[in-house]
């Protein structure tokens, strides 16, 4: 699956001068794995003729005597583990203009690239470089790449895809050129997890990325990143919200102590791992709503002291709504409280322990139902098909991973493409 791109802002037009002609003459020929989901889009160049710090990387450049180093900064929107990728190639020219050395970036390092002859394969003055699948480190010989690092590359492109979210350890992000919420980081990880692939280690020549001066690329990258981040919610299938019941879902009803003469709970124990799960979901950027039956005071007593109440954007409580679950009014109240519409129902999970109320209500309303079977106080046997949950867990330490797995498998809707 190809990772999504955006049309605007497009890479700017090239600027043609003597340095452009030199950079064009020696620009790398990039060889991509046939399964590569994120091809290079732009290539910025700098021609360095005196020793100095690299214009676009952390390294220092020292050209040959009366020669030059052409630094190429190669932009991919995505690395398979993070959104943002800038790789580098350095082509060293002697005083006659001949290529005498080629270096490339490799996982934060700067390494010499050759095929055993001192140079990589050359095509009319252009080095031929093999782009590591998913990660885009640069190699001179594909079979050496596969034999030395093939298993690790496959792991990064598969199980470890999406590990980094939106890349923050670059000069642009560190200077505040863009920002990202925890939810946007989650969506970026989702996009990459959905694009996980098995490298083929069979390579084809990449389409030539647009060549431009580094200063032009440098000015373009922040706007590009802002556009990519802004596009995430509309391009990556994701959960719109998580609705949570309380009694025997987060709080152990068997331990409840009620205010004399009322149904208001003043004290109860939490179910093991429940509050940590809610905190983790919030920390991952999921939008949370309480959808629970009982008086408001009960849930304030249970959730506010534990710091959970304010993690929920909306509180749809039967004491306020006037009806208990499975009434659609309860779910409509939560939907409205989050500013969501009917088209979002299929992307909302209802988490609860009561088949007749939580699960049936969620199913009838068109939500994804997740049954929590921790408590044995109520039946675990559905009365009919309307009470059959879509998913089930038995412990609350399973909640986050199950929700993440459900989200990863959501179908692509119209206008979505990751």
DSSP one-letter code for 368: E
Closest CA to 136 of 99, 89, 183, 168: 89
CA within 13 Å, CB half, 389:
23
The answer to whether the beta carbons of residues 113 and 138 sit under 8 Å apart is yes
What does the angle CA 409 – CA 184 – CA 180 come to, to the nearest 5 degrees? 165
Looking at residue 311, its pLDDT comes to 98
DSSP, collapsed to helix, strand or coil, labels residue 382 as: coil
Helix-, strand-, coil-residue percentages of the chain, each rounded to 5: 30, 25, 45
Domain with CATH 3.40.50.1000 in the chain: 241-409
Closest CA to 84 of 219, 221, 181, 191: 221
Whole-angstrom CA distances from 98 to 22, 26, 65, 217, 372 are: 11, 10, 13, 26, 69
Give the pLDDT means over successive 10-residue stretches in the chain (418 positions).
Answer: 84 81 97 98 97 97 96 98 98 97 97 95 97 98 97 98 96 96 97 97 97 95 97 97 98 95 93 98 98 97 98 97 98 98 97 98 98 96 97 98 98 67
CATH number corresponding to 241-409: 3.40.50.1000
Looking at residue 11, its pLDDT comes to 79
Looking at residue 415, its pLDDT comes to 58
The answer to whether the beta carbons of residues 11 and 216 sit under 8 Å apart is no
d(CA 83, CA 163): 10
DSSP one-letter code for 217: H
pTM: 0.94
The answer to whether the beta carbons of residues 148 and 64 sit under 8 Å apart is no
Kindly state the tokens that stand for 145: 């790449």
Q: Which residue has the tokens 């493409």?
A: 417
> 201-225: string of b/e by CB count within 10 Å (b at 16+)?
bebeebeebbbbbbebbbebbbebb
> 158-167: string of b/e by CB count within 10 Å (b at 16+)?
eebbbebbbb
């Amino acid at each position: 699956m190809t990772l999504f791109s955006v049309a605007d802002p497009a890479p700017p037009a090239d600027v043609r001068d003597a340095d452009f002609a030199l950079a064009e003459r020696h620009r790398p020929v990039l060889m991509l794995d046939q399964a590569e989901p994120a091809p290079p889009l732009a290539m910025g160049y700098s021609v360095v003729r005196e020793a100095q710090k690299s214009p676009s990387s952390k390294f220092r450049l020292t050209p040959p005597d009366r020669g030059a180093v052409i630094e190429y900064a190669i932009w991919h929107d995505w690395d398979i583990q993070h959104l943002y990728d800038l790789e580098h190639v350095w082509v060293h020219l002697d005083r006659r203009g001949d290529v005498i050395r080629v270096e490339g970036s490799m996982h934060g390092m700067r390494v010499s690239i050759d095929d055993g002859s001192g140079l990589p394969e050359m095509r009319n003055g252009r080095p031929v470089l093999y782009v590591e699948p998913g990660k885009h480190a640069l190699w001179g010989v594909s079979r050496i790449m596969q034999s030395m690092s093939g298993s690790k590359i496959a792991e990064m492109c598969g199980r470890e895809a999406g590990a980094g979210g939106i890349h923050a350890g670059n000069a642009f992000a560190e200077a505040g050129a863009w920002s990202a919420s925890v939810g946007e980081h989650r969506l970026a990880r989702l996009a990459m997890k959905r694009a996980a692939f098995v490298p083929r280690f069979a390579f084809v020549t990449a389409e030539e990325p647009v060549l431009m001066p580094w200063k032009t690329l440098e000015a373009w990258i922040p706007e590009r990143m802002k556009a990519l981040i802004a596009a995430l919610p509309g391009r990556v299938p994701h959960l719109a919200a998580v609705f949570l019941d309380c009694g025997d879902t987060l709080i152990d009803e068997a331990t409840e102590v009620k205010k004399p003469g009322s149904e208001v709970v003043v004290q109860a124990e939490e179910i093991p791992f429940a509050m940590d799960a809610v905190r983790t979901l919030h920390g991952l950027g999921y939008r949370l709503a309480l959808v629970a039956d009982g008086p408001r005071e009960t849930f304030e007593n249970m959730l506010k002291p534990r710091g959970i109440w304010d993690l929920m954007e909306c509180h749809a409580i039967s004491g306020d709504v006037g009806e208990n679950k499975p009434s659609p009014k309860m779910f409509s109240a939560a939907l409205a409280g989050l500013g969501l519409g009917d088209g979002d129902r299929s992307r909302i999970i209802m988490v609860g322990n009561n088949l007749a109320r939580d699960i049936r209500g969620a199913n009838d309303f068109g939500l994804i139902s997740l049954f929590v079977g921790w408590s044995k106080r109520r039946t675990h046997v559905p009365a009919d098909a309307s009470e059959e949950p879509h998913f089930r867990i038995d412990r609350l330490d399973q909640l986050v991973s199950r929700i993440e797995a459900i989200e990863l498998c959501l179908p692509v809707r119209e206008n979505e493409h990751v």
